[in-house]
Amino acid sequence: MLQAEEDLLVIAAQSGNHKAFNVLVLKYQKSLLRFAYQLSNDAEMAHDAVQDCWIKSTKNLHQLNDPRAFKSWLYRLVKWRVTDLIRIKVKHQMRITNEFDEQLSPYNEVNKDNQYEDGVGKLTKVIRQLPTIEKQIIHLFYLDEMSLAEVAIVLAIPVGTVKSRLNRARKLLKQKLALA
């Protein structure tokens, strides 16, 4: 889909055209789910975050002034929602742990390495081991094929910072691949 076509779909969706909005949902659903999963490592949370993002976008799409910013605006919504859901989950887990510390202690240990080994390639495992910032940069730039400017908008950082973090992420990735 060309950028001009997408811009027209965004404008139509802003005007209340449900078919245009559905086309946008179909275009971005999978990549938003991948991004949310990369941020949370939790499939259910990723689905919830993306669904919440779509709901919020229906209410706030009319506030988007530049249709070209739609993609980065969506990714930013997902990033914020995943962050909120993680924060809520952590608070909930801390409360439960404090209340039932002795009863829950055997269940708190989860082997995350084994959880994702089935069918996952070496590169994907290494990307998951990267620190959060580097993992986000790699995912947005390479997997979602965003430009440096779009990544900067999603992460709310300058383009120069994106470049330096991308460079650092590549170096870390190379080091970890060499060790794996």
Distance CA 11, CA 101 (A): 52
Same domain flag for 95 and 123: no
CATH of the domain at 179: 1.10.10.10
Last residue of a domain, one of 109, 136, 167: 109
Calculate what percentage of the chain has a pLDDT beyond 70: 82
Distance CA 81, CA 47 (A): 11
Residue pLDDT, tens place only, 110-140: 444 444 343 346 777 788 888 888 888 888 8
Residue 77 burial (10 A CB sphere; 0-12, 13-18, 19+):
buried
Same domain flag for 126 and 68: no
Last residue of a domain, one of 92, 109, 126: 109
How many other CB atoms are found less than 10 A from the CB of residue 153? Answer: 19
Last residue of a domain, one of 86, 109, 132: 109
* pTM for the model: 0.64
CA neighbor of 79 nearest in space, from 124, 21, 40, 30: 40
Same domain flag for 126 and 58: no
Under DSSP, the state recorded for 130 is S
CATH of the domain at 97: 1.10.1740.10
Higher pLDDT, 102 or 94: 94
Same domain flag for 79 and 121: no
Give residue 103's pLDDT.
42
Give residue 145's pLDDT.
84
Q: Who's near 121: CB < 8 A, 6+ residues apart?
A: none
Q: Could you give the C-alpha distances from 77 to 74, 87, 109, 125, in angstroms and in order? A: 5, 15, 31, 26
Task: Report the number of distinct structural domains present in the chain.
Answer: 2
Same domain flag for 123 and 81: no
Confidence at 176, pLDDT banded by 50, 70, 90: confident
Domain that holds residue 163: 116-180
Same domain flag for 6 and 78: yes
Same domain flag for 86 and 130: no
